[in-house]
A and B are shown apart, each in its own frame.
Chain A
């Protein structure tokens, strides 16, 4: 409710202050820097935000699974950042087909099983996404997901986890980010919802972040926020808080923050 009124206020401001781009549908007032797979049903925007000084490059991906709203909503908010230094590349809605259907899978199955290490990605969409990775050569990659339950409690659930790659400081950073969230964002009286660090990811599975580990040997993270007991807006906020904290550990901060 609060969010909606804030959105409509921002919308009114934009409409009053300047000619708003009418490309998107209201919510999408930002123009991407470029699009991958233009004029196809997969067409989706990439947002490149460059800071005023040199620094690391980070990439944030959301919407690999189309029914995981908090991932692509958090990524969409981050896509609107201005950064102080370095470069931030955001692909908020990786799988447009799946998002449109509000299903995990798009036209060619589970997109996050199409990134084998040491080989070309298996589908056109996966190749285009990996193309973005290769084009910007990021120092760190974040992939934002939503899970169903709580890891270790609910069957085959990976909720409230941050999975680092086995590269650089990723594991240490994941641990510190989890501690930061648990100290400042997750209420003490929701102990099952504390974030935890997952085991280190390597190239052994055909997922995007696993390929970042296997092919590039760089820090990367899969962030999983649960839908169990959390309302939709809170999931977005917590997911964004995890991403913000991880990005700042890698030297990327929203300008004006801190």
Chain B
């Protein structure tokens, strides 16, 4: 396996997008229709509320929906980290087999 493939998998691999969907999907559904809000949305909900709180303090003239932007971008980097971590965990288990 070449390094380039590894880098691509690290940043764009399937598990990155699975994590991304897990993080963003529930919170987006909950915001679209509150009846679809579930505990699964909690991480995104907390991040959005706290993030927009700082955002509105720094940029009081902006509307709050603007802070979905940083959330969507931030969730990507969290997904990369989670994918790498879960990959490392899996490798460890394989090593013990």
Binding site for B on A (CB under 8 A): 148-150, 153-157, 187, 189-190, 192, 228-231, 233-234
Contacts and interface: CB of A to CB of B under 8 A. Distances in A.
Given A150-B49, A154-B64, A189-B39, 5 more contacts: A153-B53, A156-B60, A189-B38, A190-B45, A229-B31
Interface residues of B, number: 23
Interface in B14-45: 30-35, 37-39, 41-42, 45
3 closest cross-chain pairs (CB), A and B: A234-B34, A153-B53, A155-B60
Interface of B: 30-35, 37-39, 41-42, 45-46, 48-50, 52-53, 56-57, 60, 63-64
Contacts of A154: 52-53, 56, 64
B34 A153 contact: no
Given A155-B56, A231-B34, A149 B45 contact: no
A231 B60 contact: no
Contact of A148 (B41, B48, B49, B64): B64
Contacts of A231: 31-34
Contacts of B57: 155
Tell me what chain B mostly uses at the interface: helix, strand, loop, or mixed. Answer: helix
Nearest to A188: B39
Given A149-B56, A154-B53, A155-B56, A230 B34 contact: yes
A7 B44 CA distance: 34
24 contacts: A150-B49, A153-B49, A153-B50, A153-B56, A154-B52, A155-B56, A155-B60, A189-B37, A189-B38, A189-B45, A190-B45, A192-B45, A192-B46, A192-B49, A228-B49, A228-B52, A229-B30, A229-B34, A229-B48, A231-B31, A231-B32, A231-B33, A234-B34, A234-B35
A91 B53 CA distance: 34
A182 B30 CA distance: 18
Contacts of B52: 149, 153-154, 228
B28 to A, nearest CB: 11
A189 to B, nearest CB: 4
B64 A187 contact: no
